[in-house]
């Protein structure tokens, strides 16, 4: 059996608390709640020096599996957060030789160098008994979920000793898409804040990072094809951008935690920052028959718009490996289009009359067809469906509006579309007290429709919009409030409807989140040229070109560390 080489620590003893005649038998919960969980009051003591992860002999993945090798190291630090090499010198009362404890991990398929996708199997079985735990899964992604559950089963007593109860878990997610949206346009989020969020997502078993990377206020994505988009559209062309290396860093950090990265480039609205670096893209607004000097949404009447969008989407496919891309399509103001005489002429020519929803439909249908031609699946906001647009059948619709989302779920699924629910989980809105209970009470499939319709609800996501959120308040606003949706999207709904019963587990999980090591921020300080070069191996074939300018980008990164104090 192959062991990771990181845990061969000197042996020390496990403290026996003789002063307590009967130990309190503590059974700890897991968040989100597994589908099946059986625990015994019997428990064993764990010693960091005698603890190890290993690959099962029948496992398709063995030593050298990038995802699991890194996970073993990461979870050792998570399970034993207080452990240091000098900790054996602490004063102890009574000593006893500790027993070894081995966590054996077996997966049926390899896939260590791939990316999680919409069809990834995240199921796992975990059996904890005396001196060992056996974790079995179909994929490495399921193994990651099992390791997370195992880490939450370990607890400390008041004297600092580590314990775990005998446990049997059979687990799998209720929904395949469990997302979290970050808005990096309204307030720029430094890289360490994004990576830290990915860490917390993994603890809660979220598996999709919806990166709302650009919007009206700023365009921080540094495009290789159109560099002026960030040069002129970002809050600052140097300190407030995401270089190609930054994006790759996020994608790789997410991959190692079984998280997909789905980018959103929202258009034709929400594009004011685009126009600064791409003249002619936005519609000129008119007042009194003459241009007013202001601009509206993307101009859907000219060929250059579609050539630009096609080039941008090709780059997005090149940079982001996930099969999904979010195209937006929401909140398009028609006032500027109405004021522009060229747009009105185009409307007349196309037979749209004065119905500007048809103009938006014309644009969105063209963009969705481009995405399909690139072998990517489009996600669009519900506005696109509400305007009765001709939507490709495999397009995923996302509901974001108001309290009447059940009726929208019925209409969309009746039309045969897959749906994501986000409307009840806009947690950038805050209220006094335990507002997580509102998120916890959501029932995503509680709408009028057939069982086949309800199967078309593929999941949902928490949205953290950035009007009033930046790196200073992102983490406390997200966690543990987002955990309520995490459990709703993973766990059996019938077993998790009672928020009062869930509260003790959530309270405990919040404490665990506070204790987790800050892997993201620590690793960021050593992100330099050699590591950028190392990433080349991760992006084979056509992805090699992304790092052509790695030397320049590494120099930029060094300066950014100094200027931003990361």
Rounded to an integer, the average pLDDT of 244-252 is 98
pLDDT > 70 in the chain, percent: 84
For the chain, the average pLDDT equals 87
Given a cut of 80, whether residue 563 has pLDDT beyond it is: no
Q: Which of 285, 298, 294 is nearest to 360 (CA)?
A: 298
Q: How many Å apart are CA 279 and CA 302, to the nearest integer?
A: 13
Task: Round to the nearest angstrom and report the end-to-end CA distance of the chain.
Answer: 41
Q: How many Å apart are CA 248 and CA 543, to the nearest integer?
A: 10
Rounded to an integer, the average pLDDT of 479-488 is 97
**Could you read off the pLDDT of 281-301 as tens digits, one per residue?**
999 999 988 999 999 999 999
Given a cut of 60, whether residue 93 has pLDDT beyond it is: no
Please report the pLDDT score of residue 387 as a whole number: 86
Please report the pLDDT score of residue 120 as a whole number: 97
**Could you read off the pLDDT of 326-350 as tens digits, one per residue?**
999 999 999 999 999 999 999 999 9
Given a cut of 70, whether residue 549 has pLDDT beyond it is: no
Classify residue 248 by its DSSP letter: H
Classify residue 221 by its DSSP letter: B
**Could you read off the pLDDT of 15-51 as tens digits, one per residue?**
333 333 233 444 568 999 999 999 999 999 999 999 9
**Could you read off the pLDDT of 100-115 as tens digits, one per residue?**
999 999 999 989 999 9
Q: How many Å apart are CA 165 and CA 505, to the nearest integer?
A: 16
Rounded to an integer, the average pLDDT of 528-556 is 38
Catalytic residue among 118, 148, 310, 331: 331
Of 186-195, 221-230, 384-393, which range is least confident? Answer: 384-393
Q: How many Å apart are CA 52 and CA 73, to the nearest integer?
A: 10
Burial of 130 (0-12, 13-18, 19+ CB in 10 A): exposed
Q: What is the pTM of this model?
A: 0.88
Q: How many Å apart are CA 506 and CA 306, to the nearest integer?
A: 48
Please report the pLDDT score of residue 482 as a whole number: 97
Please report the pLDDT score of residue 10 as a whole number: 36
What pLDDT band is residue 96 in, cutting at 50, 70 and 90?
A: low
Which residue has tokens 């405990």? 508
What pLDDT band is residue 97 in, cutting at 50, 70 and 90?
A: low
Please report the pLDDT score of residue 28 as a whole number: 63
Rounded to an integer, the average pLDDT of 53-66 is 97
Query: Is position 331 annotated as part of the catalytic site?
Result: yes
**Could you read off the pLDDT of 436-450 as tens digits, one per residue?**
999 999 999 999 999
Q: Is the dihedral of CA 69, 74, 80, 85 positive or negative?
A: positive
Element holding 252 (H helix, E strand): helix 244-255
- β-bridge partners, 457: 419
Please report the pLDDT score of residue 388 as a whole number: 78
What pLDDT band is residue 403 in, cutting at 50, 70 and 90?
A: confident
Helices assigned H by DSSP within 34-108 = 66-79
- β-bridge partners, 459: 177, 420
Q: What is the dihedral of CA 74, 75, 80, 83, to 10 degrees?
A: -20
What pLDDT band is residue 460 in, cutting at 50, 70 and 90?
A: very high
CA dist list (Å): 377 to 370, 397, 498 = 10, 11, 36
Classify residue 14 by its DSSP letter: P
Given a cut of 50, whether residue 175 has pLDDT beyond it is: yes
Given a cut of 60, whether residue 542 has pLDDT beyond it is: no
Which residue has tokens 């509006």? 401
Given a cut of 60, whether residue 3 has pLDDT beyond it is: no
**Could you read off the pLDDT of 489-505 as tens digits, one per residue?**
999 999 999 999 999 99
């Amino acid at each position: 059996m192959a062991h990771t080489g990181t845990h061969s620590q000197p042996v020390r003893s496990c403290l026996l608390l003789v002063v307590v005649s009967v130990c309190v038998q503590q059974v700890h919960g897991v968040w989100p709640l597994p589908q099946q969980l059986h625990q015994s009051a019997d428990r064993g003591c764990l010693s960091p020096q005698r603890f190890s992860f290993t690959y099962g002999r029948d496992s398709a993945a063995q030593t050298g599996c990038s995802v699991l090798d890194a996970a073993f190291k990461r979870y050792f630090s998570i399970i034993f957060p207080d452990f240091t090499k000098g900790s054996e010198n602490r004063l102890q009362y009574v000593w006893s030789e500790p027993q070894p404890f081995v966590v054996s991990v077996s997966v049926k398929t390899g896939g260590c160098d791939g990316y999680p996708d919409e069809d990834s199997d995240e199921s796992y079985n975990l059996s904890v008994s005396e001196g060992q735990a056996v974790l079995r899964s179909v994929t490495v992604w399921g193994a990651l979920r099992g390791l997370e559950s195992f880490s939450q089963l370990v607890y400390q007593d008041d004297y600092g000793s580590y314990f775990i109860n005998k446990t049997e878990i059979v687990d799998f997610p209720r929904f395949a898409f469990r997302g979290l949206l970050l808005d990096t346009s309204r307030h720029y989020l430094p890289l360490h804040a994004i990576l830290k969020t990915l860490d917390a997502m993994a603890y809660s078993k979220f598996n999709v990072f919806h990166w709302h990377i650009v919007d009206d206020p700023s365009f921080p994505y540094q495009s290789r094809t159109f560099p002026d988009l960030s040069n002129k559209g970002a809050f600052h062309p140097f300190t407030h951008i995401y270089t190609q290396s930054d994006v790759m860093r996020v994608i790789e950090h997410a991959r190692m935690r079984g998280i997909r990265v789905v980018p959103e480039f929202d258009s034709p609205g929400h594009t004011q920052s685009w126009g600064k670096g791409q003249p002619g893209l936005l519609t000129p607004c008119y007042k009194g028959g003459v241009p007013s000097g202001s601009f509206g949404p993307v101009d859907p009447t000219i060929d250059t718009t579609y050539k630009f969008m096609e080039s941008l989407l090709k780059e997005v496919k090149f940079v982001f490996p996930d099969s999904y891309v979010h195209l937006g399509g929401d909140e398009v103001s028609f006032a500027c289009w109405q004021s522009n005489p060229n747009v009105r002429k185009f409307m007349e020519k196309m037979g749209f009359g004065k119905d500007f929803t048809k103009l938006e439909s014309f644009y969105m249908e063209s963009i969705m067809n481009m995405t399909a031609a690139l072998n990517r699946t489009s996600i669009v906001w519900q506005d696109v469906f509400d305007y009765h647009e001709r939507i490709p059948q495999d397009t995923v619709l996302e509901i974001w509006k108001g309290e009447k989302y059940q009726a929208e779920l019925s209409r969309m699924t009746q039309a045969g579309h897959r749906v994501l629910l986000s409307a009840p989980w806009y947690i950038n809105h805050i209220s006094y007290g335990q507002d997580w209970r509102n998120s916890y009470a959501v029932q995503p499939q509680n709408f009028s429709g057939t069982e086949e319709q309800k199967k078309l609800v593929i999941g949902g996501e928490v949205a953290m919009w950035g009007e009033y959120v930046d790196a200073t308040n992102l983490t406390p606003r997200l966690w543990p409030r987002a955990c309520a949706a995490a459990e709703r999207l993973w766990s059996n709904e019938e077993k998790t409807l009672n928020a009062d019963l869930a509260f003790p587990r959530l309270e405990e999980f919040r404490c665990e989140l506070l204790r987790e090591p800050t892997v993201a921020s620590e690793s960021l300080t050593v992100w330099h040229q050699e590591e950028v070069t190392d990433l080349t191996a991760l992006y084979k074939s056509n992805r090699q070109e992304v790092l052509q300018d790695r030397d320049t980008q590494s120099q930029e990164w060094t300066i950014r560390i100094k200027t931003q104090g990361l």
